[in-house]
A and B are shown apart, each in its own frame.
Chain A
């Protein structure tokens, strides 16, 4: 599986994502600078990492969305390649309209940097195939603008097609207001596109993908992707 990690000015989780793809998964991985373009056949997985691209000026992700590399990302998404946006990467995917909705400042205006519990709402995606539906996992968040918003109509469509992949919950899996760290509608932590090949999530699976980090709950996001891509090759999809 050929992986790419896009580097925007202000990305700060690019090295962690590169490490997760190359060292944890053992797959060939390249950095792509924001000024570079690439072809849709170059990579199987493209990761948009966390950070503060362009200083989060105007709105988080709003300026990064127009970089040359993003033109290639949009084409790759249309060609069915897997796109994983984590944190600022999720914000960029929303601004690029590859996913529906928008992000606002956290409800309490604070930057939240701590572990959260997530419930896997949909395991029938290329990114979550190795989780059980309803499984509760612990993954860290680190963001100031993760307050997901979509209007009622968009939410209904999103839910009807199984677009909600992760929700914030308590340790027992209850999706409650108290377990919602940022005010996201219906505790949304991660969503997938209609075609199923673009996932955006605020929590950081790359920060909990190895034993040495004390938590491996995020590793299966990367392993699920690998299994899906290798399965696709085997089945000639």
Chain B
């Protein structure tokens, strides 16, 4: 079965995000005074041929741990459809 995975990778809380900080400054400059924090992440979409949804979940988790996220600085989450 073909499974579509949407994976979100973002900096862990507590890790300063240089891009987010720059974007926050730009938004404030544009007059969006209420902006308190900006975090920039990555969206990775994968189309996967898997035996079952459980199989896909296991494979995607493995991909995140091995390559897609760096556990030293990043967290990940994903949804399958």
Contact = CB atoms under 8 A, between A and B. Distances in A.
A and B interact physically: yes
Interface of A: 58-59, 62-63, 66, 94-95, 100-102, 104-109, 147, 149-151, 183
Interface stretch (B29-37, B50-58, B66-74): B66-74
Contact of B73 (A66, A102, A106, A108): A102
Contacts, number: 36
B70 A62 contact: yes
B48 to A, nearest CB: 18
Going nearest first, the 4 A-B pairs with the smallest beta carbon separation are: A102-B72, A102-B73, A105-B18, A102-B70
Contact of A150 (B17, B70, B72): B72
Given A101-B72, A149-B73, A62 B19 contact: no
A104 B18 contact: yes
A58 B67 contact: yes
A183 B18 CA distance: 9
Nearest to A105: B18
A108 B3 CA distance: 39
B1 interface: no
Interface string B15-27: 1111100100000
24 contacts: A58-B68, A59-B70, A62-B67, A62-B70, A66-B67, A94-B72, A95-B70, A100-B72, A102-B70, A102-B72, A102-B73, A104-B16, A104-B17, A104-B18, A104-B73, A105-B19, A106-B18, A109-B19, A109-B22, A149-B15, A149-B72, A151-B72, A183-B16, A183-B18
B72 A147 contact: no
Interface residues of B, number: 12
A89 B16 CA distance: 23
A121 B73 CA distance: 26
A183 to B, nearest CB: 7
Nearest to A108: B18
A109 B24 CA distance: 13
A107 B18 contact: yes
A203 B68 CA distance: 27
A62 B69 CA distance: 9
B34 to A, nearest CB: 24
Contacts of B11: 104
B13 to A, nearest CB: 12
A62 B19 CA distance: 19
A106 B17 CA distance: 10
Contacts of B19: 105, 109
A147 B19 CA distance: 12
Contacts of B17: 104
A109 B72 contact: no
Contacts of A107: 18
A59 B67 CA distance: 9
A46 B71 CA distance: 27
Contacts of A109: 18-19, 22
A147 B16 CA distance: 10
Nearest to A65: B67
